[in-house]
Amino acid sequence: MKASTENKTAQRVPSLDLRRNYARIEKEIKEAIDGVLASQAFILGPDVEAFEEEAAMYLDVPHAVGCSSGSDALLLALMALDVGEGDEVITTPYSFFATASCIARLGARPVFVDIDPRTYNIDVERALERVSSRTKAFIPVHLFGQMVPLEAAIPRFRERGVALVEDAAQAFGSWRRSDGEYFRAGAAGDFGCFSFYPTKNLGCYGDGGMVTCKKSDAASRLRRLRFHGADHAYLHEEMGLNSRLDSIQAAVLRVRLRHLEEWNEERRLIADRYGMLLAEKGLLEVVRLPEVLEGNYHIFHQYTVRVRGRNELQRFLAERDIETKIYYPLPLHLQPCFKYLGYSEGDFPEAEALSKDSLALPIFPELTIDEQERVVDAIAAFYAIKRQKG
Ligand SMILES: *Cc1c(COP(=O)(O)O)cnc(C)c1O
C-alpha cells in the first residue's frame, strides 16, 4: 500500500478492460444475441454464414471458414495441406504456443527461425534459408498486430512448393503496402488463421476462430474438416474435428466487425501517444519503442516495448496498480514439451533476448489519456529512482 501514498489517484490501470468496450455496443450485442435465441439455431447457421461472408469481404479474400478457435484454425489449415509425419514446418520461436503445437500435434516437425529484433517478427530471409525437401509449410505470425513483410518471399516459397499459412490471430485489419500493392494480414498467403479469443483485437464472447483461403477446393476441405470430415451428415470422407463456430459468437462478431476499423484506429492513436509521452519524459534510452516497418499499418494488438530491468519495472508498476504483461516469457524452442526437438538455449538469441526484456503496456481502444500518462509517469519514476541509486 506504499504506492497509494505516492500516488493519490491510485486507480487501477488494467492491461485490458473489455467491459468498457461492451458498454459502447451493449444494445447492438443484445439485439444480435436475441436474434440467435429467437431462431434457436446455435451451431453454424445463418449468422455464421453471414459473418463468413462479411469477414471475407472485409479481408478481400475469396473464402472464410469459421471454426472454434485460433488454435483449431491453424490445425485445420495444416490438415487441409495434409501435413503429417516426416514433414517440416518453419515458424517463429516467439509466439503463442498454438503456432507450434499445431505442427507437432500432426506429427510434423516445427523448425524454428530467429526473429528480427526490430519488429519481433520472424526473419523471412532466414526462413527461406531453412527450406528443405521436407518443408511443407511456412507459418509467419503477424505478432502484436504488425504484418511480416512477405511480398518478396511469397513467390520464392511457392517455387519450392512450400505453402504459406499466416497466423493472423493478433492482426485482424492489419495490412502492408509495398510497391503500390496492398497485402492484408491473413489474406496474403494460401491460408490465413484468425482467433476470436475475447482478448484479441477482434474478439467474440467465448472461443472462436476462422481460416481464410483463396481456392474453393481448399475451402470445401476446411468445411469438411471442421465437421468431422463429413460433407453430408453421417458420411465421413476423412477424419476431421468438431470445430465449428457458434451462431452466438458469429452474431457478436458481426457487430464487432462493423466497429473494428474505428477501434484499430484508436489503438494506433494510443500507440502514437505512448511514443510521444515516453519521448517527452526522456525515456527513449531505457525504453525501446516498437518499430513500425515502412509501409505497415500496425493495429497494435499489443504495445510491446523493450526495457532495462524488465522484471523490476513490472513489479514497480504492479505496486502502483498498473498492469502489464509479458509476451512471451519463454520462447517456444525452450518449452518443456518441445525438448525432443533438441533445441537449447542460445539457438535463437534474438527471441531469447526479447523474452527477457519485452513488456506489453496497457492498450485497448478505451484506454484514456490520463491512464496513459500515469503509466508513463510511473515508468519515469522507476528510472529516476534507479538513476539516484546509481
Ligand atoms: C491467440 C493466438 C492463437 C490461438 O488462438 P486461440 O483462439 O486462443 O486458440 C494462435 N496464435 C497466436 C499468435 C495467438 O495470439
- Domains, the chain, ordered by start: 21-254 (3.40.640.10), 260-389 (3.90.1150.10)
Q: Which atom of ligand 1 is nearest to the CA of 71?
A: 9
Query: CA angle, corner 273, sides to 271 and 276, nearest 5?
Result: 115
Provide the grid cell at 197: 479469443
pLDDT value at residue 10: 61
21 Cα: distance to centroid of ligand 1 (angstroms): 21
pLDDT value at residue 351: 98
CA distance 168 to 162: 18
Q: Which atom of ligand 1 is nearest to the CA of 141?
A: 13
Determine contact, residues 54/251, Cβ cutoff 8 Å.
Answer: no
| Residue 84 neighbours by CB distance under 10 Å | 12
Determine contact, residues 166/140, Cβ cutoff 8 Å.
Answer: yes
- Sign, CA dihedral 148-154-160-161, equals positive
**Ligand 1 contact via 195 beta carbon (within 6 Å):** yes
- Sign, CA dihedral 33-365-200-137, equals positive
> Is the pTM higher than 0.85?
yes
Q: What is the DSSP string of 310-364?
A: HHHHHHHHHHTTB--B-S-SS-GGGSGGGGGG---TTSSHHHHHHHHHEEEEP--
User: Which of 193, 195, 327 has the most ligand 1 atoms within 8 A of CB, as the residue to mutate?
Assistant: 195
Q: Which helix (DSSP H) or strand (DSSP E) does residue 209 occupy?
A: strand 209-213
Rg (CA), the chain: 22
| Residue 234 neighbours by CB distance under 10 Å | 6
CA distance 3 to 385: 14
Q: Closest by alpha carbon to 222, among 45, 79, 53?
A: 79
Query: 242 — phi, psi (to 5°)?
Result: -100, 95
Q: What is the mean pLDDT of each run of 10 residues along the chain (390 residues)?
A: 48 97 98 97 94 98 98 98 98 98 98 97 98 98 98 96 98 97 97 98 98 98 96 91 97 98 98 98 97 98 97 98 98 98 98 98 98 98 90
194 Cα: distance to centroid of ligand 1 (angstroms): 7
Q: Which helix (DSSP H) or strand (DSSP E) does residue 73 occupy?
A: helix 70-80
Going from the C-alpha of 11 to that of each of 3, 7, 116, 322, 370, the distances in angstroms are 11, 9, 37, 9, 11
Q: Closest by alpha carbon to 254, among 66, 39, 70, 48?
A: 48
169 Cα: distance to centroid of ligand 1 (angstroms): 5
pLDDT value at residue 9: 52
Provide the grid cell at 133: 525437401
Closest C-alpha to ligand 1, atom 7: 70
Within 13 Å, how many C-alpha atoms sit on residue 23's CB side? Answer: 6
pLDDT value at residue 155: 96
